[in-house]
Structure 1
């Protein structure tokens, strides 16, 4: 609950651990009733461990009419929205993935400069923008590979004939096929046949569209001034309008795994 509170505060105020408010941005702030509910639940759960502190918060801060000793343990009041939880985890993780990727690039560049003669550095844009490429469907070769894998799976066991079938379908020419197949097999063996189904529990495009400001704020360390959302399928359909690097990045995107380019 403390972690959830921290993430909520960061998103709505720009303050908290690991973040700082982006200058000039308007934040909607935290909802007072939700904050008070959080305090109430935390106090109840702490009461067996810190009874005097909990009694003080209960009576003096929350102004409850009776002692916390008479209060009931909190109960779940509704059914969790798994799609919403998955969408929230996706958005929180996106900024972290991009920052980590950029850190790796920076370290590689630093290592190269240390091992080679100094060369003039390329000028960085003063107000870089992030192009985020999101795919609405999986590559056809992945769907074909999964169909073949399904045909070899029965009673919780793979028949072991997937390589021959993949080769017969002409899929083995793609070097990415076998690592992908190995990953799906591991997921099925760990989680059952539901791992064959890769449908997301949330609308990825809609989730990104409503959280672009949050993504931009998460990338403030990279000085990102704007985040542009582009569907990978649109890049493929109108390739003439995009740079070669945009096309390459869009081709790498898959559902739940967007790619990006800083321009």
Structure 2
């Protein structure tokens, strides 16, 4: 078809995606389950249609166009537009982030004002750029939306939650998010993204903009933020449960965090590492149970806790793609420092008058009754003093 010198015009790959389902069923005029393209665009808009179709599936199975999902996607786009308008209005009145948005002659000086939540959000934006670009290159459009829209919007919501109270949102970072979000989503929702882009940069079109370049991605920061948010979610649920039981609210709390494993768990970890390296895998749990039974290195009182801990270690290794060294330090961050540095946010979220975060050791037998349950990655929280 092409001249010999133009062989590079051949497609690199072909894709087929069968017929489109509507609300989980085949389209059929006899049953009334059908929708024309014009009807769909008039109801959901062109961008709403494109977004829903991109989210319908990447496999060779028939994609499913769900009307409820389409309505939800349209609302997401509308909410994003309204949020951008609100943020830019606030920016013009200079009421956000007066401290972090101070003028500086040196970009490095300005960088020093970025706090924990800023750095987490910045890494999340950079990660979204990288993962979204990879998904586009592989023509996985559902993955594009996962990384470049849904998770990125979730990162923004997390940042907004962390920045309530004394902390302020970094407006320059928010504008960076808006720009990146529109650029990542533009191939799928060009009309909405061009409109939002012109809100940010009047008289400029997103069609002339370049693809964003990701900066440094600090995975440990992202992991620590997920840990923090999950912890606060657990603390809230724990507080609600106790409040419902007592019909009264607690005003103080103590969080206990462990930096190291107890000695018996360290022994189990070392033995598991030895076994795994010799066999390149873990043997059956029955064999492991017999191996650790009646070991003089482990006190009898821990006998019932051995196999649950072994299972926990096996899960850590599995999640780390069979990297046995993950057992040495499975957390990529210092959980005590993360909780301590965000103590004010935790206290505010739990509506407490006072909050203490204590680092415990194996010798601290008198400070907490369930000391053995506190290991790296697993904390305890004790609520105290009722509000009458």
- Shared fold (TM-score, shorter chain, > 0.5): yes
- Find the aligned partners of 1:38 and 1:132 in 2 and give their Cα distance: 34
Q: How many residues align?
A: 225
Residue 203 of structure 1: aligned partner: 334
Change (3 A) 1:234 1:50: same
* Structure 1 stretches of 4+ moved >6 Å: none
Residue 48 of structure 1: aligned partner: 187
Residue 314 of structure 2: aligned partner: 185
1 or 2 for the larger relative contact order (CA 8 Å, sep ≥6)?
Answer: 1
Change (3 A) 1:28 1:147: closer
- Find the aligned partners of 2:362 and 2:272 in 1 and give their Cα distance: 30
- Find the aligned partners of 2:271 and 2:326 in 1 and give their Cα distance: 14
* Offset of residue 8 of structure 1: 0.9
- Find the aligned partners of 1:140 and 1:148 in 2 and give their Cα distance: 12
- Find the aligned partners of 1:43 and 1:180 in 2 and give their Cα distance: 46
Change (3 A) 1:9 1:140: same
Change (3 A) 1:71 1:158: same
* Offset of residue 40 of structure 1: 0.7
Q: Of the candidates 183, 191, 201, which is equivalent to residue 63 of structure 1?
A: 201
Residue 30 of structure 1: aligned partner: 169
* Offset of residue 167 of structure 1: 2.4
Change (3 A) 1:172 1:178: farther
* Offset of residue 50 of structure 1: 3.1
Change (3 A) 1:68 1:197: same
Q: Which digits, 9 at most, give the CA deviation of each residue in 1:191-245, with x for residues without a partner?
A: 312343334211222212110011112213xxx22211122229817x3xxxxxx
1:165 pairs with 2:291: yes
Structure 1 unaligned segments of length 5 or more: list them.
14-25, 110-120, 240-245
- Find the aligned partners of 2:308 and 2:241 in 1 and give their Cα distance: 23
Comparing 68-77 with 190-199, greater Cα deviation is found at: 190-199
Task: Work out whether residues 362 and 371 of structure 2, in 8 Å CA contact, stay in contact via their aligned partners in 1.
Answer: no
The Cα RMSD (Å) is 2.7
Q: Of the candidates 156, 163, 171, which is equivalent to residue 280 of structure 2?
A: 156
